Structure 1
Amino acid sequence: MAWKQTPLLLLVYMVTTGSGRDRTDLLNVCMDAKHHKTKPAPEDKLHDQCSPWQKNACCSVNTSQELHKADSRLYFNWDHCGKMEPACKSHFIQDSCLYECSPNLGPWIQQVDQSWRKERFLDVPLCKEDCHQWWEACRTSFTCKRNWHKGWDWSSGINKCPNTAPCHTFEYYFPTPASLCEGLWSHSYKVSNYSRGSGRCIQMWFDSTQGNPNEDVVKFYASFMTSGTVPHAAVLLVPSLAPVLSLWLPG
C-alpha cells in the first residue's frame, strides 16, 4: 500500500497548501520575480512566441524580445552543449514565455528566498501533449544537467557546463517526458493526465484568436483551493487515483 500513499500525499499537499499568496488573490496575477511586471496588462507588441499573451501579460515587450535572442544575457545559454536543434529551442522559448508572460498561474505560485525572485510556480499541471512534444523535439539535442536551476559554471557571465558534467543527449539525462518536464526546473511542472482543451491543464502555447484557454483552467483550480475541497481536485490531476482517494478521504 505504501506505493499508493506517495502520489496521493503529494496531490493532497498541492491542494491543501496551495499558493503562497492569499487565496483570494489567485486569478490574473504576476509573480514577484526579476523581469515580471507588477500587474498584468495588455502588451500589443509582444514578440513572436510570446504573442498569445498580448491581451493580458506579465511580461514587457523588451522581455519578450530578449528571450528570443540567441545571444541574450537575460536567459539561459541554450547552446551549452553545442547548437540546440531549432525545434527543441522553440519549446524552451514557449516555456520561457509562459513563465514570464502568463497571469494565469496564481494557484501554483510559491514564495522563495532567491536573489533574483521572491516567488516561483510549483507543480503547474502541464497538459500531457505539451510535455510529450517538448521531449520528442529535444531528445536528440545535447545537455549536461538534469536540473537546470543549479550547478552551472557562471564564471564567464553565462551558464556553462561544469567540468564534472559531460554532454549527452537529452534522452540520456531525461529518459521519459515526465523526467524532462518535472525535473528540468525543480518541479515547476507536474505532467497532467489531461489533454489540451480539457480545461484541466495549463497549455504552454495557444492560439490567442480563440481566447486564452488557461483562464478557465486557473479559475477551476482556484475554486477548489478557495473552497478547501481536496479529493476532487486531486482526482482531476491524476484520475487513476480515484479508487485510492475513495479509500483515504471522505467525499
Structure 2
Amino acid sequence: MEPACKRHFIQDTCFYECSPNLGPWIQQVNESWRKERFLNVPLCREDCESWWEDCRTSYTCKTNWHKGWNWTSGSNKCPAEAVCRTFEFYFPTPVALCEGIWSHSYKVSKYSRGSGRCIQMWFDPAQGNPNEEVARFYAMAMNSRATAHEIGPVLLILALMLQLCLLG
C-alpha cells in the first residue's frame, strides 16, 4: 500500500475509534466481533475523492474489508481464491471505494467540505472541529423524523375518527 493511501486508512481508524461526532450514525449490531457500528455517515465528497485518488494504484484483493479475510495465521490475509489487483480494479469510482470498503459505513455526500452537511475526515483541529455542527444537524433531523413517525399514527386515528363523526 502506498504511504499516501495508508494515511487515509490510519485517519479512518482514528476517526472510527475516537470521533465524538458519530452518534447519529451508530447502529446496534449482533456480530461476534462488535456490538455496534456506524452506518451511512455522510462523508464529504472531496474527502472520498482524495482517498480514492491516493489509493487507486495501491493493491487489494477484495471489495468488502469487513469480512471474508483468512485469519488462520493470526492476522488477516487475502482469501485463497482472491487476486491482488489495484484499488481502481476493485473500486472503479471514489463512491465504490468509500461506500463499499466498510459495508456502507460511509455514504458519499452530495455536499462539499465546509457545508455543515457532511463529515470531514481531514480538518485542522486548531480551527475547530467542523463535524460537531454536522452531527448536531443530523441528530436534530433524525430526532424530528422519529417524533413525526411517533405522532403520525395518532394523527391518522384522529382523522379517521373525525371522518366518522362527520359521516355519522
TM-score range, shorter chain: 0.7 to 0.9
Q: Does 1:188 align with 2:101?
A: no
Deviation at 1:227, TM superposition (A): 1.4
1:88 corresponding residue in structure 2: 5
Name the SS of the counterpart of 1:205 in structure 2: coil
1:200 corresponding residue in structure 2: 117
Instruction: Give deviations 1:152-191, integer Å, cap 9, x for gaps.
Output: 1100111101111010000000000000000000000000
RMSD across aligned positions (CA)? 1.2
1:133 corresponding residue in structure 2: 50
Within 1, Cα distance between the matches of 2:70 and 2:36?
24
1:149 corresponding residue in structure 2: 66
Name the SS of the counterpart of 1:223 in structure 2: helix
Conserved 8 A contact 1:123-1:190 = yes
Within 1, Cα distance between the matches of 2:43 and 2:143?
21
1:115 corresponding residue in structure 2: 32
Deviation at 1:107, TM superposition (A): 1.0
Matched AA of 2:29: V
Gaps of at least 5 residues in structure 1 are: 1-83, 230-251
Match of 2:80 among 146, 163, 169: 163
Within 1, Cα distance between the matches of 2:4 and 2:56?
11
Within 2, Cα distance between the matches of 1:187 and 1:206?
22
If you compute each CA radius of gyration, which structure gives the higher value, 1 or 2?
A: 2
TM-score by length of 1: 0.57
Name the SS of the counterpart of 1:228 in structure 2: helix
2:131 corresponding residue in structure 1: 214
Q: Does 1:98 align with 2:15?
A: yes
Name the SS of the counterpart of 2:141 in structure 1: helix
Name the SS of the counterpart of 1:90 in structure 2: helix
TM-score by length of 2: 0.85
Matched AA of 1:194: Y
Deviation at 1:211, TM superposition (A): 0.5
More strand by share: 2
Deviation at 1:206, TM superposition (A): 1.1
Within 1, Cα distance between the matches of 2:33 and 2:89?
30
Conserved 8 A contact 1:98-1:205 = no
More helix by share: 2
Within 2, Cα distance between the matches of 1:183 and 1:223?
27
Matched AA of 1:107: P
Matched AA of 1:123: N
Name the SS of the counterpart of 1:104 in structure 2: coil
Within 2, Cα distance between the matches of 1:153 and 1:163?
8
Conserved 8 A contact 1:98-1:204 = yes
Matched AA of 1:210: Q
Deviation at 1:117, TM superposition (A): 1.6
Within 1, Cα distance between the matches of 2:94 and 2:134?
22
Name the SS of the counterpart of 1:154 in structure 2: coil
Within 1, Cα distance between the matches of 2:143 and 2:30?
25
